[in-house]
Amino acid sequence: MSASHRTHIYCREMRMKLEQEHENVLRGEDGEAMALAMKTLVAYGEAFGAKRLVPIKSAHLTGSFGISPFSAYYQILGRLADEGAKFKVPTTLNPRPGRDLNIINRLIFGRQKRLESCYSALGITPNYSCVCYFNANVPALGDRIAWAESSAVQYANSALGARTNRNSILIDVCGAVTGLTPEFGYLLDENRRGRVLVRIKIDRMDPPALGYIIGKTVVDRVPVIEHYPFSREELKNMGGAMAASGGVALFHVEGVTPEAPDMKTVFDGSPKETITITQADLDAMRSKNTEKIRHVIFGCPQMTADEAAALAERFAGKKTALPVWFCMIPDEMKQFEQTGLFRKAREAGVQVYDHCPLASLPVRKKSHTVLTNSGKLYYYLENTEYGATDDCLRACGVL
Amino acid sequence: MAEYFGKRIVGGRGEGPAIVTRMPVNFTAAFTKIQNIFPGRRAEIRDRHHDLFGKNIQGSVLVFPTCIGSTHSGLVLLEISYRKVAPAAMIVRAADSLLASGAILGQVWYGRGIPLIEYHNDDFYDSVRPGDFIQIDGDSGKISIL
């Protein structure tokens, strides 16, 4: 069956109203793969009752790992590139997977070079970081965007007040090549208000642990955390955990994030549900088995130069007892490498990388237990324990 | 036989034995493990945080509350559809954007979607048991426990 025939059948069932130029793409005017990209967005929108497709300001893609045993995604990307499709809005991309770390990673990520040339043909901004929102791709308050990467979606929605759903891999590509996204969910005011008030009774704040517990508890509702002066890096790390243990796309912090000037505004009234998270809850997350730890990882989501500098201070003049990695935003790693603290961290035995620890580490000895202060990495990586930052430094023997 | 009518998210018919969990599913954590990506290519849930750990969901009707976690969920659901090891259908209490995308992508690009129905009420979840044979019609939203 030809694509035009298939899309014809589809048009008759369609309830969403499309602009004439988008109808033309759907009919196959820009090629078969572009027609299917448009059809994907229409089907996606209709599943959630969207009435129209709206233009977006930018895209961020999650599919940055060329995983050999998977094929469908790469075939589709190749079809779009072969047809000459181009991203219609600025489009950034997640981190590289650490292909060159060892022979097994080279086998697993065997599609990496082909994947990167495909993205380059489509017109990617090669930032190679999940943390695109500090420099490479910074949306403004109220901007409609179509991002993937759960931690980036959440930062853009929560800390910047931009508007995106949690778009899946490939949905993100369809948004980028068409410059459109269906209007539903977090693009609409009514879904952005708070649902659950999170009270905090905490003496020693540990943002990733707090995020992990909130995600597990609220799952996909919008939490509003009582005022706490989180830094942008703390919002990043707390959000990354919340979007792994749960499906949270948007959270607010009273008086900190842009859509939560006060509790009354963010809840549009008063909260229907309240939860309380205590110091004991945070402490229960921390590893009790630190003697099994063989590797300590920092940086998921990837670290900024400021985060790396603050941690490097703690390693300066000492030697780490275990292998320790800093995984950094590539552009920020270049800045960090120019500093004296980088040299001190290296002398202490710290390895500094710009890849994704989640992709690069699954292949390792079973006895090789990882300790991390990342709630996200802890969720995804098998044989991993969570520790507050000081627990991680203690395991390295520098505290 | 008991019948329930839910909301169509992704159309199509499917039937199979029920696999039931009350825990949300993180498909990325479940399916990007060595056991699933090396030869053999099973559709086995390998998320150690999950009560379905070790279960093969191929050909089943998967009944669960919602989908959580990474935006790679679509990669996983598209790939298991493409390889023909996907569940026969899915019934979920709240369909989120990632789960729907995953079910849609296989249908649009390869003509092999995963029928998906959203059903909210407790009556179905209270009566369905693991292993019950379930038929679903994604177009009308009908769920039948045989």
Distance from C-alpha of A145 to C-alpha of A161, rounded to nearest angstrom: 11
Task: Name the domain boundary from A284, A302, A318.
Answer: A284
Phi, psi of A370, deg, nearest 5: -100, 140
Contact assignment for A219 to B102 by CB distance below 8 Å: no
Question: Residue A243 half-sphere exposure, CB side, CA atoms within 13 Å?
Answer: 30
Q: Is residue A128 part of a domain?
A: yes
Measure CB to CB from residue A379 to each of B29, B81, B110 and give the nearest one: B29
Distance between CA atoms of B133 and B21, rounded to whole angstroms?
A: 16
Smallest CA–CA distance, residue A105 to chain B, in Å, is 12
Q: SS3 sequence, A370-388?
A: EEECCHHHHHHCCCEEECC
B70 is known as an active-site residue: yes
**Residue numbers of the domain that contains A306:** 290-395
Subunit contact B69:A150, Cβ cutoff 8 A: yes
Nearest residue of chain B to residue A66 (CA atoms):
B75
Q: Is B37's CB within 8 Å of A63's CB?
A: no
* Nearest CA distance, B78 vs chain A (angstrom): 7
Reduced to 3 states, what is the DSSP secondary structure of residue A79? helix
Assess if residue A36 is contained within a domain.
Answer: no
Q: What pLDDT, on the 0 to 100 scale, is given for residue A128?
A: 98
What mean pLDDT is reported for chain B? 90
**Domain extent for B37:** 2-145
- Measured CA to CA in angstroms, residue A365 lies from A369, A392, B18 at distances of 8, 20, 36
pTM check: above 0.95: no
End residue of a domain, out of A142, A171, A187: A187
Closest partner residue to B96 among A67, A70, A247, by Cβ? A247
What CATH number is associated with residue B47? 3.50.30.10
Whether residue A35 lies inside any domain: the answer is: no
Structural domain contains residue A57: yes
Q: Last residue of some domain: A167, A187, A207?
A: A187
What is the residue-level pLDDT of chain A in tens, covering all 399 positions?
333 333 333 433 557 989 999 999 999 999 999 999 999 999 999 999 999 999 999 999 999 999 988 899 999 999 999 999 999 999 999 999 999 999 989 998 999 999 999 999 999 999 999 999 999 999 999 999 999 999 999 999 999 999 999 999 999 999 999 999 999 999 999 999 999 999 999 999 999 999 999 999 999 899 999 999 999 999 999 999 999 999 899 999 999 999 999 999 999 989 989 999 999 999 999 999 888 999 999 999 999 999 999 999 999 999 999 999 999 999 999 999 999 999 999 999 999 999 999 998 876 766 789 999 999 999 988 889 999 999 999 999 999
Options B70, B101, B127, B140, the catalytic residue: B70
Q: Domains in chain B: how many in total?
A: 1
Instruction: For residue B71, list chain A residues with Cβ-Cβ distance below 8 A.
Output: 62, 148-150, 153, 166-169, 172
Give this complex's ipTM: 0.89
For residue A80, being part of any structural domain is answered with yes
Q: Do A328 and A204 share a structural domain? A: no
B14, B115 Cβ separation under 8 angstroms = yes
Residues A167, A65 within the same domain:
yes
A167 → closest Cβ in B32, B71, B79? B71
Our CA dihedral for A332, A336, A337, A341, rounded to 10 degrees, sits at -160
Contact A150 B70 (CB under 8 A): yes
